[in-house]
Amino acid sequence: MKPQLLVGAASSGSGKTTFTLGLLRALKNRSLKAQPFKCGPDYIDTKYHLLAAGEESVNLDLFLSSESHIRNLYAKYGSDADVCITEGVMGLYDGYDGMKGSSAKLAELLGIPVVLILNAKSMAYSAAPVLFGYKHFNKNINIAGVVFNRVSSETHYAYLQQACKDTGVECLGYIPNKKELEVPSRHLGLSIDNSFCMDDFANRAAEIIEEFVDLDRLLKISNMPFCLPDKSEQDELDIRGDIKIAVAYDNAFNFIYRENLAQLKRLGKVVFFSPLDDAKLPSADLVYLPGGYPELYLDKLTENKTMLRSIKAFAENGGNLLAECGGMMYLSKVIVGMDGNPYSMVGVFDQEATMQDMKLTLGYRTFTYNGIENIRGHEFHYSRIKDPQMDSISDVSIYNAKGLRTKTNLFRYKNTIAGYTHLYWGELDLMNLWNHKC
């Protein structure tokens, strides 16, 4: 038995992340080990979770992986925790195709209750029909209670409590409408305001939750049996190969799914290196350049000439290299920054990546490539490749969540493969793919 819940909301911007961070820090302050999870492909909220809880978060995505894989991940990473907290995505029922892939579908799959965060700004007793709808819309979803956000006064809260009483939804408390609980300017979700301290923010959010939310009651109503991981599956995860894998990890490159890294460690020995600070690549059979924020560190990246030459030589000599999004930009000849200036990069691909005229591109992607089907990932970026000098790999087909072909490119030069999509391979047999040189 342990408390388990999903933090859901009626829509994006309702305060799920603020509540989740405050809850994780409050539990940590109570000396409870809270294992955070994130519904969906978001690799930014998981970083927030780590800062608040002191425990690395895990993505649970019903498009990127199977239901059995999701259950195994939840059991594997939650087994040693005192509490399991899953942050939802968008509105509770918002999925890539109706309810498919939604927070509600994940809660149903895992059999865990939902605590609904409802933005009560400019709303009082009208919360009643909203709560009634969420309580009765789907009998398989257990709305255990509600926490109201952006509540202006005790009088305001009294109207909201009456709405809960009349709809039979338990009221667990509220979050006052306070400016200090707003995250400042963001870049793809992460704060770039140097004066903002996530640790202070998490502590303040935790204080608010302890004062205005009945945390003891929340833990009690979400306490339920936990399914332990299968022992044979755990043993299988410990199998390791002898491949040497170098993974870029620093402030510029750090968008890595936790289970992706666990899979790489099954292939062999993983070592980390920094394109920002290290002089050259470590010895490796495979190099992985994940996404991140190279556009925020262009001066330092272009000044590290020895690293640029080291990666270029690795690719020219036929080394196996995989680059995603920011990693792909880094392999371009030039990145044009947000200041409009060009910065020289590795130059494996004779192309220019630019942050000018930024436009968001996002969505799920499915690949068929080199005889492999159903490789999945997610695309999220504001940059673009200006006038690509090379065509996408001819034998790759890329589709969106609706099964329609996309314009997403996947580039190849010798044994270097790069594209904008953040791939998820937590469920793939990497050893088999490696042995077949895929």
Starting at the edge strand that comes first in sequence, how are the strands of the sheet with 410-413 ordered? 268-273, 243-248, 286-289, 320-324, 416-419, 410-413
Report, in angstroms and rounded to the nearest whole number, the Rg of the chain calculated over CA atoms: 23
Q: Is 438 a catalytic residue?
A: no
Nearest to 147 by CA among 119, 181, 113: 119
Nearest to 51 by CA among 77, 28, 74, 82: 28
Residue type, 253: F
| The two structure tokens encoding residue 437 | 């040189």
Q: Say how many C-beta atoms besides its own lie within 10 A of residue 349's C-beta.
A: 24
Catalytic pick from 39, 84, 164, 325? 325
Q: Give the residue numbers marked as catalytic.
A: 325
